[in-house]
Amino acid sequence: MQLWKKNVREVEPYVPGEQPLDTKVIKLNTNENPYPPSPLVLKAAEELARKGADQLRKYPDPGAKKLIQTLSAYHGVWPENVFVGVGSDDVLSIAFLTFFNSDKKILFPDVTYSFYPVWANVYDIPFKKVRTDEDFRIHAEDYKVPNGGIVIPNPNAPTGISLKPGDIEEIVRSNPASVVIIDEAYIDFGGETALELTREYDNLLVVRTFSKSRSLAGLRVGYAIGNEALIDAMNSVKFSINSYTMNVPSIHMGCASVNDKEYFSKCIRQIKDTRDYTVENLERLKFKVLPSDANFVFATHIRYKAEDIFKALKERKIFVRYFKQPRIDNYLRITIGTDEEMRKFFKALRDILHGFDISF
């Protein structure tokens, strides 16, 4: 054995959804927006290209002030209440490293975003998974226990279920000595945002991303809104690791996306309509579909195994997400695609289920 290996930090990494190189695949496995970014984003990219290489030769603004000011104006908060990072994963990672620094266990749901335990393990943060109920719902009373911090997605992933109105405030109010992080990656598609609560509670941090509702997963832009002291603490940690995390294209194109409210609203409406169509057709095919406020649905067939359906769809170049994990290993997470993509998905799904009927 090589002697240096005894000092290597060993962790089990987060495994993202498969990213196929085949462009003919119908990709419904990573919750990307099926529609292109705002035309203003493309215009901003063209403007950067016209200005030439000098824009990329120099370091970007380490404070990303232009993007922060745009976000603060959009949400009606002070710039001092906004933190930006390279996607919400970067923002969440910095938040874990900044706020979860006690011997007490942090809390997050047992069925949730699978990156949370990875960050906890990387940063040596003790944690406890709080069991959701039989319908995968989160209950505020389960978080009224001693803890070193709380992380809850709203809507949750991979279920798509939102917390009941008032539950977030109950959790935040009941834990004044802990930082409560509400991960709102999917909030634009439904549910009740906690942003207004950041004005009242200094221990609440709300995290968002441009990857889902703004069609900019490839640009990597995320942000958080919270009390000025929380943001100051995160910036201190961020600038101790890397001062230049937000690149020039992300700053300029991110601002352009925020400024196109009409296009943003149009895409959200379309995805919600297609989500309704998806749920209706899945239920016709004898799937049980959990209530979703996200840009995906979480479903299980009443008769056939999720893993078998997942493999059969993949053979037809249609990718959905399958989690081989306790409690959810018979569910599929299906991203909402375009109407055309979903029609092709359902044609393939009907053929697969018909084949299963003959086999059985």
Q: Shortest CA distance to 292 belongs to which of 26, 8, 31?
A: 31
Total residues found in the chain within this entry: 360
Q: Which residues contact 166 (CB under 8 A, 6 or more apart)?
A: none
The predicted pLDDT at position 242 comes to: 86
Q: What one-letter code names the amino acid at 112?
A: T
Q: Are β-strands 332-335 and 106-109 bridged in parallel, bridged antiparallel, or unpaired?
A: unpaired
Q: Hey, CA dihedral for 21, 26, 28, 29, is it positive or negative?
A: negative
The predicted pLDDT at position 229 comes to: 98
The predicted pLDDT at position 359 comes to: 56
Please, what are the domains in the chain? 3-37+262-359 (3.90.1150.10), 39-260 (3.40.640.10)
pTM over 0.75: yes
pLDDT in tens, the chain (360 residues): 688 888 888 888 888 888 887 778 999 999 999 999 999 999 999 999 888 778 888 899 999 999 999 999 999 999 999 999 999 999 999 999 999 999 999 999 999 999 999 999 999 999 999 999 999 999 999 999 999 999 999 999 999 999 988 999 999 999 999 999 999 999 999 999 999 999 999 999 999 999 999 999 999 999 999 999 999 999 999 999 988 889 999 999 999 999 999 999 999 999 999 999 999 999 999 999 999 999 999 999 999 999 999 999 999 999 999 999 999 999 999 999 999 999 999 999 999 999 987 654
Q: Shortest CA distance to 223 belongs to which of 242, 238, 201?
A: 238
The predicted pLDDT at position 190 comes to: 97
- Distance, in Å, from the CA atom of 217 to the CA atom of 104, rounded to the nearest integer, reads 34
- Distance, in Å, from the CA atom of 314 to the CA atom of 321, rounded to the nearest integer, reads 10
Q: Which residues contact 196 (CB under 8 A, 6 or more apart)?
A: none
The predicted pLDDT at position 353 comes to: 96
Q: Which residues contact 229 (CB under 8 A, 6 or more apart)?
A: 202
Q: What angle do CA 309, 315, 317 make, to 5 degrees?
A: 105
